[in-house]
A = this chain, B = another copy of it.
Amino acid sequence: MHNFVFHNPAKILFGQGTIEAIGPETRAWGRRALLVYGRSSLKESGLYDRILASLHAAGLEVVEHGGVRANPLLSHARQGIRLARARQAEVIVAAGGGSVIDTAKAIAAGTPVEHDVWKFFTGKKSIKTALPVTTVLTLAASGSEMNSGMVLTNDDTREKFGFGHRLLHPRTSILDPQATCTVPPDQTVFGAVDAISHVLEFYLTASDTDTPVQDRLMEGLIENAMVACERCLRDPCDYHGRANLMWTATLALNGLTAAGLGRVGFPMHLIEHSLSALYDVPHGAGMAVILPGWLRAYRTTLAHRIAGLGGRLFRLAESEPLAAADQTIARFAKWLADVKAPLTLDDLGIPAAAIPAIAANTRGLARTWRLADCTPERVAAILRHCLD
């Protein structure tokens, strides 16, 4: 096990009827709030009214910054920063999924500084302070509700970059599984795949693998994401299915899985970021296509590790590593097909001819994330594994 620091001060309020805590939890951090949310679903579900009522009842002045979209844009975060400054917001409230929370974090980081917020993403500036963020989660997927990361797409350069800093942990996140009962099947699957990929990437790229504590945790989370996703597809209102999926997705990227693994990479995310930066596909849909392709590309070099995972997850009888690895990959691919995830670039409407451009687009983030072995050539080779 590698040395690590684990420090996650985010407070989680989990369960039915917790939405109304957002007012007092936010009021603890200031009196003027910027409420960040998406486009239509928050209002349709009635959550918008409940959240606003709770914020007002707690004595908060609320300025609204709606309109966050999937693959959230830097330009929209910049607008939020201008608004937060103009209205002297003291706390940012995010009500939505990962895109909304990430936008809120970018506003929280960008509001107190003179320079452009994108400089944090490119590593040209480092965060010294940030406004506090509270959240109401409406999608089990990104884990942003309990971590310090954020992902934005620069609409000028078509770069989708991710970045994290300890000051970006939400102060309080409210996780009410009932708020996700209206999430449609495809988005439910994309969220589960996102959670699986967060765990799987660390599992398979860890520089230290004498880590059975983390391994058992990660195997459990992958299994739960799959099982809970199936429950939610069978019955979208299965509260415990939604609850298990939600808590799984949160734990999948809250720092606990990576602690002790040494250096971990995020190579599947690297590729997906370029995919959705250029083609604006839902992040989880992109991950569903890349995941088995990436595994196939690494089936020999990572055979033992993939086989070990399959042995635990699927109780494979096969003991020969490469055969067991292939069976494991096939099981993941079958599960993705069962839950009707997109399986190929073609399913996403992306032609094979686009591969060089996607691969070239990964260059900037690979540099920022220091993934030296993720060359455009290597990425293109992996993407060719995602063609069928």
17 contacts between A and B (CB under 8 A): A1-B15, A1-B244, A2-B15, A4-B15, A7-B9, A7-B12, A12-B259, A210-B244, A211-B244, A212-B223, A212-B224, A212-B227, A213-B224, A213-B247, A213-B251, A215-B220, A243-B260
User: A13 on the interface (CB 8 Å rule)?
Assistant: yes
The secondary-structure label for the interface of chain A is mixed
Interface string of A345-386 (1 = CB under 8 A from B): 000000000000000000000000000000000000000000
Q: In this complex, what residue of B is CB-closest to A225?
A: B213
Partner of A210, one of B7, B211, B240, B260: B240
The residues of A with any CB-CB pair to B shorter than 8 Å are: 1-18, 177, 210-213, 215-217, 219-221, 223-224, 227-228, 240, 243-244, 247-248, 251, 256, 259-260
Bound together, the chains give a CA A319 to CA B12 distance in angstroms of 38
A259 touches B220 (CB 8 A): no
- Chain B: CB-nearest residue to A4: B14
Residue of B nearest to A2 (CB): B15
Please tell me if the beta carbons of B3 and A12 are within 8 angstroms of each other in the complex.
Answer: no
The reply to whether A220 and B216 form a contact with Cβ atoms under 8 Å apart is: yes
Contact in complex: B213, A221 (CB < 8 Å): yes
Given A11-B7, A227-B212, A1:B243 Cβ within 8 A? yes
Q: How far is the CB of A17 from chain B (nearest CB, A)?
A: 7
The answer to whether B244 touches A213 (Cβ under 8 A) is yes
| Neighbouring B residues of A7 by C-beta, 8 Å | 9-12
Contacts of A177 in B (CB 8 A): 1
Q: What 4 additional pairs, Cβ within 8 angstroms, besides A7-B12, A216-B217?
A: A4-B15, A212-B224, A212-B228, A212-B244
Bound-state CA distance A2–B211 (Å) is 30
The residue that A5 contacts in the complex, of B8, B14, B215, B221, with Cβ under 8 A, is B14
How distant is A200 from chain B, measured CB to nearest CB, in Å?
15
CB pair A11 B1 closer than 8 Å: no
Q: Kindly provide the distance from the CB of A258 to the nearest chain B CB, expressed in whole angstroms.
A: 12
Residues of B within 8 A of A221 (CB): 213, 216
Chain B residue contacts of A8, Cβ below 8 A: 8
In whole angstroms, what is the CA distance A319 to B227 when docked?
Answer: 21
CB distance from A253 to the nearest CB of B (A): 14
Tell me how far the C-beta of A144 lies from the nearest C-beta in chain B, rounded to whole angstroms. 16
